Amino acid sequence: MALLRPASGRLEPVEMAVPSPGTGQVLVRVLACGVCRTDLHVVDGELPGTRIPIVPGHEIVGRIAQAGPGVDAVAVGDRVGIGWLADVCGRCEYCRSSRENLCRAARFTGHQVDGGYGEFVLADARSCYPLPANYDHLHAAPLLCAGAIGYRSLRMAGDCHRLGIYGFGAAAHIVAQVARQQSRDVFAFVRPHDETARQFALDTGVTWAGWSDQAPPAHLDAALIFAPIGALVPEALTRVAPGGRVICAGIHMSDIPSFPYRILWEERSIHSVANLTRDDARAFLALAGTMPIRTHVQSYALADANQALSDLRSGMLTGAAVLCPTWA
């Protein structure tokens, strides 16, 4: 296991007892685990409510090794995916109205519940998803959060034709492919003068790619912001047409600076994406099984988790980082 200890800011390898699944739970042997930017926010202490010590990781591909009492939807030997939403109360107004992502009692994998940076992980069987067979372990891992949260963000953008994407990392390179296959024009915005990121976006098949402070060749109908930079919100507002939407898709973002009302006027709007529901994950994974989505991944040994996080923090990654245990 790779464990984050209090105030350490780094993961430490530790030996932990293999847990036994309780009622409704499964024990999953990890085959791959994606390194999400949210993991970085957890390690850097930017997310309130993190249980410390914690095993991070919530883009988990694994195989069920043991099932507890009351589990019948999945079975030992099944390959499953585990994402960010670990469990919910099931009783509140949000859970009863298909908005479990807003449940006040929700717990999240790698945040309050130990995640996938290790050999085994315990999970609620209801939060384990079937994975499309056309993805191997390595390339399926980013679908569990980067892909699913991108899909929820795209749906929130509505029926738009010209879509802007700010920050072209793991989530963006997946959702851009989905949008292109839906015949949308995609305009990618990357850090100024980061030619590697701009070329990566073009290689993914976007319509146009340029710098984040640059005007696109046409006004956007909607913009998705994956980069955790609050200053991009007013920037994106200046690029969307009247009635356009700006979707803030990250779980953490720096403060949004003040901006003149005139760039919000004409019925432009700002929305945030808060987590995702288990139905979101199931729907996206089913869709991914029907589309030729290419997840661009860079693999790291589990022992190199700190290096993967460091590379993500410094912007050295293109696509997604995935931890690959030696036993997978």
| pLDDT value of position 325 | 86
In angstroms, the CA 20 to CA 23 distance is 10
d(CA 125, CA 75): 10
Domains of the chain plus CATH, in order, are 2-144+275-324 (3.90.180.10), 147-272 (3.40.50.720)
Paired sense of beta strands 320-324 and 162-166, if any: unpaired
pLDDT at 328: 65
Query: Per 3-state DSSP, what percentage of the chain is helix, strand, and coil (rounded to 5)?
Result: 30, 25, 45
Contacts of 292 (CB under 8 A, 6+ apart): none
Helix or strand holding residue 272 (H, E): strand 269-272
Residue 7's pLDDT is: 56
Cβ neighbours around 301 below 10 Å, total: 12
pLDDT of residue 4: 65
Q: Look at residue 151 in the predicted model and tell me its pLDDT.
A: 96
- Report cis status (omega within 30 of 0) of the bond before 53: yes
Alpha helices for 248-304 (secondary structure H): 278-288
Can you tell me the distance from the alpha carbon of 122 to that of 285, in angstroms, rounded to the nearest whole number?
A: 21
Q: Say if CB 98 and CB 282 are below 8 A apart.
A: no
What are the average pLDDT values for consecutive 10-residue runs of the chain, which has 328 residues?
A: 66 91 97 96 91 95 98 96 97 97 97 96 97 97 97 96 97 98 97 96 97 97 97 98 97 96 98 96 97 95 94 91 86
Q: Which DSSP state fits 143? A: G
pTM over 0.85: yes
Non-local CB neighbours of 246 within 8 Å, separated by 6+ positions? 222, 223, 225, 233, 236, 237, 240, 268, 269, 270, 271
